[in-house]
Amino acid sequence: MTIPSPRTAAGLRREHLHKYVAWVTDACRDPGTRSALRAGLRRDLDHVRPMHRIVAPWLPRHRRVSETEERAFYLVASMIADRPRHTFTAEDEPAEAPEEAPPTTPAADGPGAAPVREDEDTWSERWGRSLGHCLAQAVVEGPGREREMRISNAEARLHLLTRQSAAGLHRHLPATVRYLRQTGIDVDWVRLMEDLIAWPALSGRISRRWLQDYYRKTNETQRNKSDQADENALLDNAP
């Protein structure tokens, strides 16, 4: 008989955040709720009175919640609501929380074997897509000249965000999220909330992850296109 391992505090928090994002998205189908949440964009916690009745019940109750964590709940709710009503359709349901991964990556068979490295898809499925990954998607999925314009725009936005304090992030993120929405890219709200909550203590590490994800994905796409071009050239020159 296999005894399931207990869920960690981090896993429970991710599950709660997934439920919160799903609930806010569903609640935004109501015009009054959506208007109340959207009014909180770029405002501090003392000037978002209409939001409290919606967001406050979802704040963690079993421990003291920092102002940074509170602001993450409010900011993400306001950015989710910052969309036209018709976009909140029955099909627009956030993905369910993935099963919690084991705390360490399993090692390959054999004594002293190196740990197994996870590829980008596995990492994204388990931990979510960072903001850098989302901005890279906006770049690589744009056609022709539009892609060139997106590269300049996305890089500028990303570098601006990584230089911000927590308060600065709250001022600048809504514009970046709108930009992503206009390019057809969805934000991973749970991953973004976790990064916002941890920003005061881990901003350097999170910034590094955003930048690495961005350049890894954009460079991978360019490399794949070059490989495809080389393959096509060989086929064209084949006897």
What is the identity of the amino acid at 159? Answer: H
Give the bridge partners for 115, in sequence order: 107
Residues 97 and 14 sit within 8 Å (Cβ to Cβ) = yes
Alpha-carbon gap, residue 75 to 174, rounded angstroms: 9
Q: What's the confidence (pLDDT) of residue 144?
A: 60
Q: What's the confidence (pLDDT) of residue 10?
A: 82
Q: Is 82 helix (H, G, I), strand (E, B) or coil?
A: coil
Q: What's the confidence (pLDDT) of residue 46?
A: 94
144-162 vs 131-140: helix crossing angle, rounded to 10: 160
Alpha-carbon gap, residue 198 to 111, rounded angstroms: 36
Q: Could you count the other beta carbons within 10 Å of the beta carbon of residue 39?
A: 15
Measured CA to CA in angstroms, residue 122 lies from 38, 119, 129, 133, 202 at distances of: 34, 5, 11, 14, 23
Residues with Cβ within 8 Å of residue 225, at least 6 apart in sequence: none
* Per-residue tokens: 237: 């020159």
Alpha-carbon gap, residue 39 to 80, rounded angstroms: 12
- Cα dihedral value 177, 210, 215, 133, nearest 10: -50
Q: What's the confidence (pLDDT) of residue 35?
A: 95
Residue-level pLDDT, tens digit, the chain, 239 residues? 455 445 788 888 899 999 999 999 999 999 999 999 999 998 999 999 999 999 999 999 888 899 999 999 999 999 999 988 777 764 444 445 544 443 333 333 333 333 334 444 444 445 789 999 999 999 988 766 566 667 888 999 999 999 999 999 999 999 999 999 988 899 999 999 999 999 999 999 999 999 999 999 988 756 555 444 444 444 555 55
Alpha-carbon gap, residue 72 to 18, rounded angstroms: 14
**Nearest-CA neighbor of 52 among 28, 31, 15, 77?**
77
Q: What's the confidence (pLDDT) of residue 150?
A: 79
Q: What's the confidence (pLDDT) of residue 121?
A: 47
Residues 24 and 81 sit within 8 Å (Cβ to Cβ) = yes
Residues 179 and 157 sit within 8 Å (Cβ to Cβ) = yes
Alpha-carbon gap, residue 38 to 106, rounded angstroms: 43
